[in-house]
Amino acid sequence: MKPRAIVSEMDSYVPGKSQDEIASEFNLNKDEIIKLGSNENPFGPSTKAIEAIENECKNINRYPESVLNELQQELANYSGVKQSQIIIGGDGADEIIDVLAKTFINEGDEFIVPLPSYMYYEYLLQQYGARPVYAEWNMNENKLDIDSVLNSITDKTKMIFLCTPNNPTGTLIDKKDIKDIASKNPDVLIVVDEAYFEYAEVTNKDLINEFDNIFIIRTMSKVMGLAGMRTGYGLACSEIIEYMHRIKPVFSLTRLSYVAALNTLRDKDYIETSIEKGIESREYLYNELSKIDSLNVFPSKSNFMLIGIKDTGFTASEFAVELMKKGVIVRDCTSFKGLDEYWIRISICTLEEDKKFIEIVKEVLS
């Protein structure tokens, strides 16, 4: 049985390695492994979310709610938008991207991704017959090359993906640049990925009232500590949201992910502390790693940072293996289009784990 042609041509998405994989491969104690490869929240979920999940377990024989009014309203309050401007999806923000594709992409359409960036956009949209067109990040100045985006637009362009802070560079995109692209291309959907906006303390959510061709992606997998619950959401004008609700799976959010999301949003102290501790960890890692001459550490506004390792004498895959042997998982960025084999990405951990990681890096490099 042969798959569709596009499936035969596609590369598989390469996720970060898990603690179970590394423990098995290198005969390590899983509980002692430091995981810096997947941009997760290392401080654990809200205790209120855990309590809500435990209470809801007795109801998992019932279908989840199909109308998510209560959660929509909490997200609207959190985001400072109208309830009609919110859509919620399961499978993190990935389902939101998938529903965008199902709603707006026709076979033969083009979409633009500045490289390097989050490659799951490409993975999802190609399934619907869309063709990726690559713009550029200026790696020397660590910012978006807006001219490369504008020059890539054709009459086939349907979407432009702008990740801010950008994954993997940690870069913020200037709001003026987003407005410039949106205003010059009213028939193109500008998809602004704000998965990490809390760590940057910057948002572009006000633009959805100014432009009806801007869509903002968000997730509860990062600051909210719910990566395992797979909950994402999007912000846009009410018309776009209504179209997407026609396509979105009815029961995509489980009962447990629903109550976890709802109670996390209501735990304001947890969210505030999560942001503060995340930024503290990021700044500690940046300051300490920047003292190592052979590392090219990019400043970041997210919960991760990109590190060039060419001067260490290792490739990214070699360096990652040496760290894994010592119980540390980092992201080998060789699979990111737009980067060569000399880049890794690390995410925040607890300060105790950060300090242990710094010592292990120095040990490997020595």
Least confident of 2-11, 41-50, 255-264, 345-354: 2-11
pLDDT attached to residue 24: 82
Quote the tokens at residue 263.
């109670």
Residue 8: pLDDT over 90: no
Q: Residue 241, class by beta-carbon neighbours within 10 Å (0-12 exposed, 13-18 middle, 19+ buried)?
A: buried
Beta strands in the chain (DSSP E): 34-35, 86-90, 110-115, 131-138, 143-144, 157-163, 189-193, 214-219, 231-235, 296-297, 304-308, 328-329, 331-332, 343-347
Residue ranges of alpha helices (H) inside 11-91 are 19-26, 47-56, 69-79
What is d(CA 252, CA 38) in angstroms, rounded to the nearest whole number?
Answer: 23
20 falls in which pLDDT band (50, 70, 90)?
A: confident
For the domain bounded by 48-266, which CATH number is listed? Answer: 3.40.640.10
> CA-to-CA distance for 85 and 105, rounded, in angstroms?
21
pLDDT for 66 beyond 90: no
- Mean pLDDT for 235-241 is 98
C-alpha distances in Å from residue 160, one per residue of 22, 88, 130, 222, 247:
36, 21, 12, 23, 21
Within 8 A by CB and 6+ apart from 108, the residues are: 129, 130, 131, 156
Architecture of the CATH domain 5-44+269-365 = Alpha-Beta Complex (3.90)
Does pLDDT of 51 surpass 90?
Answer: yes
- The residues spanned by each domain of the chain are 5-44+269-365, 48-266
Is the Cβ–Cβ distance between 338 and 116 less than 8 Å? yes
Tell me the mean pLDDT in the region 273-291.
98
Q: What's the CA gap between 352 and 168, in Å, rounded?
A: 24
Whether residue 59 has pLDDT greater than 80: yes
pTM value is: 0.94
Nearest to 303 by CA among 271, 273, 279: 279
User: Cα(330)–Cα(315) distance, rounded to whole angstroms?
Assistant: 13
Residue 338 gets the label, from left (phi > 0), alpha (psi -120 to 50) or beta, of: left
Helix 92-104 to helix 238-247 angle (10° resolution) is 90
In the chain, what percentage of residues exceed pLDDT 70? 98
pLDDT at 16 over 90: no
Q: Has residue 312 got a pLDDT over 70?
A: yes
Q: Above 70 in pLDDT, residue 362?
A: yes
